Amino acid sequence: MRNQTLARVYSFDIKFRGGKRTTFYRKLFGFTARTTRTADDGPRTYTHEYAGVLTSIPHLRLGKSVIAVPLPAAGRLDSFFDDPRWKPMELHVFDAILPANERLKAMRETLQRASVRPGIYLEEEMRILESFPPGAVDSEVQRRIRRVLQAADELMRMDWSDGRVFSRDLEARLGRLRSRLQPSNVGDNVTFGYLSGKGTKKPK
């Protein structure tokens, strides 16, 4: 239980400025850009969201340059900070135990932030799919359900909530979506092991 709830904390001090600094933070946290285009009925503003390393990872910002992530996600952060593009940098890494309510909040926020298709987030997509009556689950809806199950499985692997309460609550909703799948009508001929995250080919 202790290892499941531990956080890996990264405290960093980047030694560069200008455009490189902007790129660093955008690659780490993601960013939103707005563009205005002229249409027949006047100017229109479009919002584009670009994911960063932390977009799909539960995390807490403990300071301006201090972040904490679940231990299973540490490898992705290690790879990011090891990138030679971000040198010179002073980096300190250590493990810590953070408040349970903050860790659970980070999990729920990631559910609302992680994207499953352009402009649609995991929580939003789940609500949409849950609203379909069982008889309306065609092949396209089934593909969307599978996409949600895979994204949810990736998120639950990083669950650092006490007693994995976040995963237990989410599993209740995922079970209802799984019940709508029809293996005999799967067009991609692949059955996914959602709990293990592994894919296996169906025998022909």
Query: Tell me: the pLDDT tens digits for 46-56?
Result: 788 889 999 99
Encoding tokens for residue 28? 């780490």
Residue 91, pLDDT above cutoff 80: yes
Residue 193, pLDDT above cutoff 50: no
Which residues touch 204 (CB under 8 Å, ≥6 apart)? 189
Distance (Å, rounded) from C-alpha 171 to C-alpha 178? 10
pLDDT, position 2: 59
Distance (Å, rounded) from C-alpha 126 to C-alpha 130? 6
Nearest to 140 by CA among 151, 125, 152: 125
Query: Tell me: the pLDDT tens digits for 101-151?
Result: 999 999 999 999 999 988 899 999 999 999 988 777 888 999 999 999 999
**C-alpha distances in Å from residue 52, one per residue of 17, 30, 79, 128, 185:** 19, 4, 13, 25, 36
